[in-house]
Amino acid sequence: MSSSTRLIVVSNRLPVTLRRQAGGWKITASAGGLVTAMAPMLKRTNGLWVGWPGEATGAGDATRQEAIDAWAGGSHYVIVDIPAKTAELYYEGYSNQTIWPLFHYFPSLLSYDPRSFPAYKEANYRFCKAVLKHARPDDLIWVHDYQLMLLPQMLREAMPDARIGFFLHIPFPSSEVFRLLPGRDELLQGVLGADLIAFQTHAHLQHFRSALLRISGLESQIDEVEVGGRSVRMEALPIGIAPDEFRKLLETDAETGRYKEQYRQRFRDRRLLFSVDRLDYTKGIPERLRTYRHLLQHAPHLRGKVVLVQIAVPSRERVASYARLRRRVNEMVGEINGQFSTPDWTPVVYLHRGVSRPQLVALYAMADVGWVTPLRDGMNLVAKEYVACNEGHGVLVLSELAGAAAEMGEAFLVNPFDIERTAEVIQRALDLPVNERRERMDALRRRVEFNNVYKWGDRFLQQLEKAAASRARRPAGQPGLLDMRAVVSAYQDARKRILLLNYDGTLAEYTGRPEQAAPSQPLLALLEDLSRPSKNYVALVSGRRREDIEKWFGGIAGVYLAAEHGAWIRPFGSKEWVERVQSRSNDWKPRVIELLEQFVERAPGSLIEEKEHSVVWHYRMTHPEFGEWLAAELIGILEGMLSETDVSAVLGQKCVEIRPLWIHKGQVVEEILKAHGDADFRFAAGDDRTDEDMFAQLSPEDWTVRVGKGETRARYYLPNPAHVRALLREFTAADVPDARPASASV
Ligand code: GDG
């Protein structure tokens, strides 16, 4: 980060609590991984934290902001006030009863009040205004989590050049689940306002990409998506903990030491199973209790020998599903203790409240099993904290549905819904020889220490700076209308020219059926004229079948032809086609065609086009909305079906094309540029997603032209193929200033 860069953190809650007290305000800082990670960066950059104070009263009372500034020694905390009713609908409503259950795969717990989305918008807007009041052009703005998904775009509209990053702490669900969300399109557009969007795991990132495609029709690359003439980077950046803080407590804190000794005595003859969670239905507490009951029933020798300490920190108590959960957990604990307790043994020690850090750390250190089995979790820091604090004798039993599972392979991974298997695994963990326990724990500890929260924060900001810098280098905003005079003059001045032209939708209008789009005589003459000057290298880069391209354009000598997106080429000056094939396996084709046939039946008027290396489903002739809807469904099915292959499905202009990943127009352009890198005029025109691969090979100074509307990385646009033909005609006229070209009537 450069010295003038300042960090602005925006999160739903400010990391402080404010209570009114006689003569002023009582302010206490909250602890937690995020605060720990942000603190050094905020300090280093003299940064700001913008957030809502939650329950605190005192909106409009200036003494509150003054008190917090005095406490922080400067204006480091910016309070966002939200009126009570809006706050309820925004926070308890849309955030915690709509987004939260859905993103954690609990659609049955989703409840949606139509007033809550406008309130969510309003709350996001209040955050936006607060940020705008303080933001400077050089700042890095880091927006956190699901409560603020509209904020990046709101900020982008107000500050088009701002550097904005977004991190989602919770899972991003499969697009099948995400599509159930009222407000889904706005939320996607909202986060796309950022330069960098980061997730806890690759799986979440993939789900997000799939939602972009299936809900917004946006194609993305592995880590990038084009939107509104900008590119947005996407990353998986798993959050870590601050291991030093835990180590410090263990090594030097007397209170922690006392608790450790106390627990050592208390659990002397027993094995300690330990869980700590917010009391949330995603954390799998009832399932854990059921598993424990099963264990005690089926492994009677463990009775009296194990204790489960379950800490459940009260959370969101005003939401009905949480109140129900609380009752359910109380009942279950009562039942288990009622059934199995003896005068000197209680199987479950249940605390419905938080404990102090020293107590928590002492329990982590002593526990024989860290039982961390959420039904779904973005990351789960408890798993990492347990590993950081344990003395090496313990075993981590971790849900495979927590984001942490992706990095913690040495844990015993379980499916928490499978009670019998999980109970077996707990038993195995208890029986595991001590050296194996140590080996696993050491490997885990090394990773937790290495991938700590400081690295996570640094990495996020580095990536954000990079993403914003590459946006700034790109020409700003939407493509501008191509200035004919400027391009013709550049063409005229050039010593060597490359012209890369797509055919359908670029040189010729679309027709109902692909075979009806044969080029007109004047168009052929125009291409002939264009390719005549010796300094011109004209390439026709099409996705069509080789037969079509050969039949239609084979007669024009000097033109380079590429068919099937470059699977076949006819180089400059050659009459022979070359097959640029790296793998001949077309095994996937019959299965795909079988599927497409079902889609043809469902959408009368649609049709299948089979090429040598690809297959296309065209739906131009179907009902437009139904066609789009089916195309999204088809892509979703194909994504799963082809996940193990190098074949992918791409949305084209009213078609879905299925082809090997290695075939794309970018490759053709790369080869042409390699051979003719000295060309000082480079022009490319195309109209659909497959042409973006062409544009990607060219640099910002080149003449890249998108034909028609749509997301593009091209610098310019032209409204339709007639304009492209008119431009090419101008080119040919520029070469023969005094003579009208033969193709003047195209
Ligand atoms: C969200 C995502 C993601 C808990 N009880 C006590 C206590 N804690 C502390 C733990 C830990 C934190 O609370 C809980 O963090 P988690 O990661 O487990 O869960 P969420 O609150 O749901 O957080 C989650 C996280 O964001 C970060 O990105 O991992 O997936 O849902 O630090 O130590 N601390 C004290 N007493 C307690 O009783 N002192």
**Is any ligand 1 atom within 6 A of the Cβ of residue 385?**
yes
| Ligand 1 atom 10: residue of nearest CA | 382
Mean pLDDT of 659-683: 92
Output the CA 32–ligand 1 centroid distance in Å.
8
Cα–Cα distance, 97 to 84 (Å, whole number): 17
Measured from the CA of 353, which atom of ligand 1 is nearest? 38
Q: Is the CB of 381 under 6 A from ligand 1?
A: yes
Task: Give the confidence band of 56 by pLDDT, cuts at 50, 70, 90.
Answer: low
User: Tokens standing for 101?
Assistant: 């259950």
Question: Quick one: average pLDDT of 342-362?
Answer: 96
Higher-confidence residue of 448 and 740: namely 448
Confidence of residue 247 (pLDDT cuts 50, 70, 90): very high
Which residue's CA is the nearest one to ligand 1's atom 15?
381
Q: At what angle do helices 357-366 and 381-389 cross, to 10 degrees?
A: 70
**Alpha carbon distance 412, 440 (integer Å):** 10
Distance 298 CA to ligand 1 centre (A): 32
Task: Assess whether the C-beta atom of 33 lies below 6 angstroms from ligand 1.
Answer: yes
Separation of CA 283 and ligand 1 centre (Å): 11
**Ligand 1 atom having least distance to the Cα of 32:** 32
Residue 62: φ, ψ to 5°? -65, -25
CA atoms of 561 and 543, how far apart (whole Å): 11
Q: Is residue 378 in contact with ligand 1, taking CB distance under 6 Å?
A: yes
Which 8-state DSSP code applies to residue 377? B
**Stretch 395-423: mean pLDDT:** 97
d(CA 268, CA 264): 6
Q: Whose CA is nearest to atom 35 of ligand 1?
A: 357
**How far is the C-alpha of 1 from the C-alpha of 42, rounded, in Å?**
12
Distance 379 CA to ligand 1 centre (A): 9
Q: Is the CB of 502 under 6 A from ligand 1?
A: no
Taking the centre of ligand 1 as the mean of its atom positions, its distance from the CA of residue 626, in whole angstroms, is 44
Whether 47 has a pLDDT exceeding 50, the answer reads yes
Predicted local distance difference test score (pLDDT) of residue 501? 97
Assess whether the C-beta atom of 352 lies below 6 angstroms from ligand 1.
no
- Residue 582 pLDDT greater than 80, yes or no: no
Confidence at residue 620, expressed as pLDDT on a 0 to 100 scale: 85
Tokens of 280: 């949330």
User: Which atom in ligand 1 lies closest to the alpha carbon of residue 169?
Assistant: 28
Please state which of the ranges 42-56, 184-198, 268-282 shows the lowest mean pLDDT: 42-56
- Does the pTM of the predicted model rise above 0.95? no
Question: From ligand 1's centre to the CA of 277, what distance in Å?
Answer: 7
- Whether ligand 1 lies within 6 angstroms of the CB of 360 is answered as yes
Catalytically active residues, by annotation: 169, 377
Q: Do the beta carbons of residue 693 and residue 665 sit within 8 Å?
A: yes
The DSSP code sequence of 235-259 is EE------HHHHHHHHHH-HHHHHH
Number of Cβ within a 10 Å radius of residue 323 = 13
DSSP state of 261: H
34 CA distance to ligand 1 middle (Å): 10
| Token pair listed for 247 | 């180590």
- pLDDT, greater one: 16 or 304: 304
Ligand 1 lined by 382 (C-beta under 6 Å): yes
How far is the centre of ligand 1, averaged over its atoms, from the C-alpha of 42 (Å)? 22
CATH code given to domain 589-660: 3.30.70.1020
Q: How many angstroms does the Cα of residue 378 sit away from the middle of ligand 1?
A: 11
Q: Is 377 a pocket residue for ligand 1 (Cβ < 6 Å)?
A: yes
- Exposure string of 33-57, with b = 16+ CB inside 10 Å and e = fewer, is bbbbbbbebbeebebbbbbbbeebe
Looking at residue 475, its pLDDT comes to: 59
CATH topology assigned to domain 13-82+121-236: Rossmann fold (3.40.50)
Q: Is the CB of 379 under 6 A from ligand 1?
A: yes
Tell me where in the chain the CATH 3.40.50.2000 domain(s) lie: 13-82+121-236, 243-451
Shortest-distance Cα residue to atom 37 of ligand 1: 354
End-to-end C-alpha distance for the chain, whole angstroms: 56
Residue 382 CA: which ligand 1 atom is closest? 18
Residue 743 has pLDDT above 60, yes or no: no
Task: Report the chain's mean pLDDT, rounded to a whole number.
Answer: 91
The average pLDDT across 124-153 equals 96
pLDDT computed for residue 474 by the predictor: 63
What is the reported pLDDT for 287?
Answer: 98
Q: Is the pLDDT of residue 739 over 70?
A: no
Query: What's the rounded Cα separation, in Å, for the pair 639 and 650?
Result: 10
**Cβ contacts of residue 186 below 8 Å, gap of 6+?**
117, 121, 150
Kindly state if the Cβ of 151 falls inside 6 Å of ligand 1: no
DSSP 299-328: -GGGTTTEEEEEEEE---TTSHHHHHHHHH
Among 237, 256, 380, 396, which is best to mutate for testing ligand 1, by the most ligand atoms less than 8 A from CB? Answer: 380
Whether 590 and 565 have beta carbons less than 8 Å apart is answered as no
Listed in order, the ranges of the chain carrying CATH 3.30.70.1020 are 589-660
Atom of ligand 1 lying closest to residue 241 CA: 32
Q: Rounded to the nearest 5 degrees, what angle is found at the Cα of 539, between the Cα atoms of 538 and 545?
A: 150
Pocket test for ligand 1, best of 282, 350, 381 (most atoms within 8 A of CB): 381
Span from the CA of 123 to the centroid of ligand 1 (angstroms): 24
Alpha carbon distance 541, 323 (integer Å):
62
Class of domain 243-451: alpha beta
Residues of CATH 3.40.50.1000 domain(s) within the chain? 480-581+663-734
Ligand 1 centre distance from Cα of residue 330 (Å): 21
Residue nearest to atom 4 of ligand 1 (CA): 277
What's the CA gap between 41 and 633, in Å, rounded?
Answer: 44
**How many whole angstroms from 104 Cα to the centroid of ligand 1?**
16
pLDDT of res. 80: 94
pLDDT in tens, 680-730: 999 999 998 889 999 999 998 999 999 987 778 899 999 899 899 999 999
- C-alpha angle with apex 191: 185 to 193, nearest 5 degrees? 110
Q: Which residues pair with 93 in a beta bridge?
A: none
Give the pLDDT confidence of 149-159 residue by residue, as tens digits: 999 999 999 99
Q: Which residue puts its alpha carbon closest to atom 30 of ligand 1? A: 378
- How large is the average pLDDT for residues 428-454? 95
State how far the Cα of 310 lies from the Cα of 586, in Å rounded to an integer.
Answer: 55
**For ligand 1, what atom is nearest to the CA of residue 383?**
18
Mean pLDDT of 578-592: 82
Atom of ligand 1 minimally distant from the CA of 356? 39
Instruction: Provide the CATH topology of domain 480-581+663-734.
Output: Rossmann fold (3.40.50)
pLDDT of residue 516: 77
Atom of ligand 1 nearest to the CA of 385: 33
Closest CA to 140 of 470, 463, 453: 463
- Which atom of ligand 1 lies at the shortest distance from residue 354's CA? 38
Minimal-distance CA residue to ligand 1 atom 1: 169
C-alpha–C-alpha distance, residues 690 and 651, integer Å = 9
What integer is the mean pLDDT of 311-324? Answer: 91
Distance in Å, CA 385 to ligand 1 centroid: 10
Instruction: Answer yes or no: is the C-beta of 652 below 6 A from any ligand 1 atom.
Output: no
* pLDDT (0 to 100) of residue 629: 84
Determine which residue's CA is closest to atom 39 belonging to ligand 1: 357
Residue 380 in contact with ligand 1 by CB distance below 6 A: yes
Q: Give the residue, out of 168, 352, 379, with the most ligand 1 atoms within 8 A of its beta carbon, to mutate for a pocket test.
A: 379
- Cβ neighbours around 489 below 10 Å, total: 12
User: 443: Cβ below 6 Å to ligand 1?
Assistant: no
